[in-house]
């Protein structure tokens, strides 16, 4: 049996090339691929997206890679030749595009969906925020939700990063728990620092996030309302805003006079996090769990965030800082944490406690491999128990398949 596990092959179909220094999603997908490598899987990554300047070199990781095309039977030949035992789709859009081709050419391959976060939830919250109202059931049950939930049901296992999203899928969308697996960010506790810079060695506030991600851009805009309240009480403090791909509209906000500084790309996110006294993350909409707040915990940097920001990241543990959804209260707590060394040190200790409690890679990786092995061994029965999923794969509901084939034929006639 061990020999079969040793020879298993996994194909990861990515939405984009992994950029672990640009986004939490990039870090997460790399941690998953590294886990498979550690468990003696042969790992191949492919994507229809163009490679970018910040993409990681997968060859250095011992991971082979290929470019693939949308709406082309070239993928059929490619996947049939590779003949994977497992196919992992990075976000539901990749499942929509390629799962039917995998089903056609490799019907026995175990299909895993890595949701990264639930886009249906992020989209619903964004819509409610734009209209300045509370989120409703109608917001959740959108056309986007129908697509994303369908992808989850068609797959054998879906990886869900947030405990809140696990609850939402099971209780609101009535998805059987056998199709879901809770997988937060996996942190190798043996490699993170035991000791980081002390209170008196740090200065200023910071936040970080890919500017192309809508919730991160909203954070920058929201901080424009919060920062003057903080600056009024801490006239010497600065706010350093880091992130990849800053657009002109972001760099235009750089204001040395007020200490509102758009720093852009950070070569080392951990370094800039450790140099800062407090991480600010006033996140008003979004989903999943937040990489910037996990990085803050790793570097023992206390944070101030919102209920959306902290959602799914802790349970009974103390938050390493403060949580507030009101502008004035958020600013007040930020100043209090910045000025009070005793509070700051308590938050610093809570960071380590929370990491050990929820994000231990050794525990999380073992549970994931056990889940995959269990489903793989009983795949036929697992699929029989998922009648709705098999129904969604039926040809009368495969609109993506026929649209793709139509586009392919149209492209041939150009």
341 belongs to a structural domain: yes
173 and 44: one domain?
yes
Which run of H or of E encompasses 44? strand 42-47
Query: Which two three-digit tokens encode residue 243?
Result: 């992130």
396 belongs to a structural domain: yes
The residue out of 318, 335, 358 marking a domain boundary is 358
The residue out of 358, 376, 399 marking a domain boundary is 358
Please tell me what DSSP assigns to residue 248.
H
414 belongs to a structural domain: no
Nearest CA among 289, 291, 265, 287 for reference residue 279? 291
132 and 267: one domain?
no
Backbone conformation region of residue 205, classed left if phi is above 0, alpha if psi is from -120 to 50, else beta: beta
367 belongs to a structural domain: yes
- Cα 92 to its chain centre, rounded Å, is 13
182 and 220: one domain?
no
What are the helix (H) ranges across 2-118? 2-6, 24-38, 74-82, 92-105
What are the helix (H) ranges across 134-268? 137-140, 143-154, 163-171, 214-233, 248-251
293 and 267: one domain?
yes
57 and 164: one domain?
yes
322 belongs to a structural domain: yes
236 and 274: one domain?
yes
For residues 92 and 160, give the distance between their C-alpha atoms in angstroms, rounded to a whole number.
Answer: 12
152 and 8: one domain?
yes
How many CB atoms lie under 10 A from the CB of residue 233?
14
Strand order in the sheet with 260-264: 260-264, 239-242, 205-208, 278-281, 303-305, 321-323
How many CB atoms lie under 10 A from the CB of residue 284?
18
pLDDT digits (tens), the chain, 414 positions:
344 445 799 999 999 999 988 888 889 999 999 999 999 999 999 999 999 888 999 999 999 999 999 999 999 999 999 999 999 999 999 999 999 999 999 999 999 999 999 999 999 999 999 999 999 999 999 999 999 999 999 999 999 999 999 999 999 999 999 999 999 999 999 999 999 999 999 999 999 999 999 999 999 999 999 999 999 999 999 999 999 999 999 999 999 999 999 999 998 999 999 999 999 999 999 999 999 999 999 999 999 999 999 999 999 999 999 999 999 999 999 999 999 999 999 999 999 999 999 999 999 999 999 999 999 999 999 999 999 999 998 766 677 777 888 888 888 876
Q: What is the CATH number of the domain that holds 68?
A: 3.40.50.2000
Per-residue CA distances from 99 to 155, 327, 404 (Å):
9, 44, 12
Reported as a single tens digit per residue, the pLDDT across 23-65 is: 888 899 999 999 999 999 999 999 999 998 889 999 999 999 9
Per-residue CA distances from 173 to 120, 145, 160, 170, 178 (Å):
11, 10, 14, 6, 14
354 and 376: one domain?
no
Per-residue CA distances from 260 to 81, 152, 226, 252, 263 (Å):
53, 42, 11, 11, 10
The residue out of 358, 381, 397 marking a domain boundary is 358
123 and 141: one domain?
yes
50 and 132: one domain?
yes
Show the domain range for 279: 199-358
Whole-model pTM: value is 0.93
Reported as a single tens digit per residue, the pLDDT across 317-340 is: 999 999 999 999 999 999 999 999
Number of domains in the chain: 2
286 belongs to a structural domain: yes
21 belongs to a structural domain: yes
Reported as a single tens digit per residue, the pLDDT across 142-188 is: 999 999 999 999 999 999 999 999 999 999 999 999 999 999 999 99
20 belongs to a structural domain: yes
Which run of H or of E encompasses 353? helix 341-358
233 and 123: one domain?
no
290 and 325: one domain?
yes
């Amino acid at each position: 049996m061990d020999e079969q596990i040793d020879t298993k092959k996994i194909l990861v179909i990515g939405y984009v090339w992994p950029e672990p220094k640009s986004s939490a999603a990039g870090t997460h997908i790399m941690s998953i691929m590294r886990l498979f490598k550690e468990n003696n899987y042969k790992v191949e990554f492919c994507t229809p997206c163009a490679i970018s300047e910040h993409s990681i070199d997968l060859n250095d990781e011992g991971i082979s890679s290929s470019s693939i095309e949308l709406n082309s039977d070239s993928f059929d030949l490619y996947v049939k030749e590779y003949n994977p035992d497992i196919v992992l789709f990075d976000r539901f859009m990749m499942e929509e595009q390629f799962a039917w081709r995998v089903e056609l050419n490799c019907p026995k391959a175990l299909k895993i969906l890595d949701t990264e976060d639930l886009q249906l939830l992020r989209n619903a919250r964004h819509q409610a925020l734009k209209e300045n109202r509370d989120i409703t059931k109608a917001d959740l049950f959108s056309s986007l939700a129908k697509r994303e939930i369908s992808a989850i049901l068609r797959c054998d296992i879906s990886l869900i990063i947030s405990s809140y999203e696990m609850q939402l899928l099971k209780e609101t969308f009535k998805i059987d728990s056998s199709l879901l697996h809770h997988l937060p960010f996996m942190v190798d506790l043996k490699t993170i620092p035991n000791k980081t810079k002390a209170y008196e060695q740090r200065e200023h506030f910071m936040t970080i996030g890919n500017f192309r991600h809508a919730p991160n851009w909203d954070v920058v805009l929201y901080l424009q309302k919060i920062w003057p309240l903080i600056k009024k009480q801490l006239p010497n403090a600065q706010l350093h805003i880091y992130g990849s791909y800053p657009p002109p509209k972001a760099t235009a906000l750089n204001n040395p006079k007020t200490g509102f500084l758009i720093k852009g790309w950070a070569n080392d996110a951990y370094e800039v996090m450790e140099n800062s006294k407090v991480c600010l993350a006033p996140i008003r909409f979004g989903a999943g769990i937040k990489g910037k707040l996990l990085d803050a915990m790793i570097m023992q940097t206390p944070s101030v965030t919102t209920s959306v920001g902290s959602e799914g990241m802790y349970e009974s543990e103390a938050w390493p800082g403060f949580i507030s959804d009101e502008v004035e209260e958020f600013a007040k707590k930020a100043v209090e944490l910045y000025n009070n060394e005793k509070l700051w040190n308590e938050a610093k200790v809570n960071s380590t406690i929370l990491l050990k409690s929820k994000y231990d890679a050794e525990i999380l990786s073992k549970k994931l491999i056990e889940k995959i092995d269990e489903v793989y061994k009983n795949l036929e029965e697992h699929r029989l128990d998922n009648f709705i999923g098999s129904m969604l794969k039926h040809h009368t509901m495969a609109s993506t398949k026929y649209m793709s084939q139509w586009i392919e034929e149209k492209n041939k006639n150009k």
